């Protein structure tokens, strides 16, 4: 496995891979079993002849809260070990100074999908996501890239970016990886207080119950309201949003013949957790 710390090292390391299938898994580090799942899927997709590339870069531009950035866990040695174990061929680990010029003046902004859900409460977040992913796509030039569905809105926005800007990469959405008690894996989970960690699986439990109700024909507002009520019953939790929207447009209304998305964001102390589930009528 090669570790590239500069753009020049990355380009040199991928020179012989041009013309092959290059599958890319971008991460911000603090890798867990969810990231490992993405990398293993990338290895399978690339096959023996293809190349798997992963980036480990804590992107400061997508953080709207300086405290959240400062508290984000960084475990580079462990991250490298995870990449090696999962069959990654090239790991790109740049610094912020390498990725962004001091006088940078280019921005990227999506104007529809990013106005709701996390985008409504995290101004500038998805502009930062689009900017860094576009830069990484330009550097790696992958044929494919894999993103987890836990960040469902992110995946939808990146699909729109790839479509609208004609970026030649196929995006793949990977299912959410969960703990045994249902909590969606996240690098932020390690920051949860014990009492919050014990309560957090109630999110996924409420989502699963909602999926059953929705499939049975329950009204949109009834389903959404039940999840909101369940979260409000958790001691000390602050709800950011509970929304039931069209899975593609991320906006209401939702037609019965289209897939819906039930998405949640809530604060457990100073840790913001997100989760979601795709819904279909039976």
What residues are labeled active site? 35
3-class secondary-structure state, position 75:
coil
- Quote the DSSP letter at residue 17: G
Residues 6 or more apart whose Cβ sits within 8 Å of residue 169: 24, 137, 142, 143, 144, 145, 162
3-class secondary-structure state, position 276:
strand
Nearest to 106 by CA among 132, 69, 140, 142: 132
- DSSP letters, 159-188, are HHHHHHTT---EEEEEPPPB-TTSPBP-GG
3-class secondary-structure state, position 125:
helix
Nearest to 282 by CA among 210, 217, 208, 207: 217
Q: Is the alpha carbon torsion for 107, 111, 113, 116 positive or negative?
A: positive
Q: Are 181 and 200 in contact (CB under 8 A)?
A: no
Q: Which structure tokens are listed for 132?
A: 């860094």
CA–CA distance, 77 with 74 (Å, rounded to integer): 9
- From residue 70, alpha-carbon distances to 63, 265, 279 in Å are 10, 21, 35
CA–CA distance, 273 with 167 (Å, rounded to integer): 31
Helix (H) or strand (E) holding 132: helix 125-140
What does the CA dihedral 122, 153, 10, 24 come to, rounded to 10 degrees? Answer: 160
């Amino acid at each position: 496995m090669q570790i590239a710390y500069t753009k020049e090292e990355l380009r040199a390391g991928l020179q012989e891979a041009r013309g092959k299938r290059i599958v890319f898994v971008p991460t911000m580090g603090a890798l867990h079993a969810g990231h490992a799942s993405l990398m293993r899927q990338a290895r399978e997709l690339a096959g023996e002849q293809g190349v798997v590339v992963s980036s480990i870069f804590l992107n400061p531009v997508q953080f709207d809260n300086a405290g959240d950035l400062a508290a984000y866990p960084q475990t580079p040695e462990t991250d490298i070990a995870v990449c090696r174990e999962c069959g990654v061929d090239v790991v790109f680990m740049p610094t912020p100074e390498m990725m962004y010029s001091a006088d940078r003046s280019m921005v990227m902004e999506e104007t529809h999908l990013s106005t709701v859900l996390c985008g409504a409460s995290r101004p500038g977040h998805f502009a930062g996501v689009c900017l860094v992913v576009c830069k990484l796509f330009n550097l790696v030039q992958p044929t494919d890239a894999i993103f987890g569905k836990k960040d469902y809105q992110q995946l939808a926005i990146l699909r729109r970016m790839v479509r609208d800007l004609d970026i030649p990469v196929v995006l793949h959405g990977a299912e959410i990886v969960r703990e045994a008690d249902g909590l969606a894996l996240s690098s932020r989970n390690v920051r949860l207080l014990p009492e919050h960690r014990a309560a957090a699986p109630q999110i996924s439990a409420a989502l699963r119950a909602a999926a059953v109700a929705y499939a049975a024909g329950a009204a949109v507002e009834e389903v959404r309201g039940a999840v909101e009520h369940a979260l409000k019953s958790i001691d000390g939790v602050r709800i950011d949003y509970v929304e039931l929207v069209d899975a593609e447009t991320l906006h209401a209304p939702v037609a019965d013949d289209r897939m819906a998305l039930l998405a949640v964001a809530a604060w457990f102390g100073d840790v913001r957790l997100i989760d979601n589930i795709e819904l279909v009528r039976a």
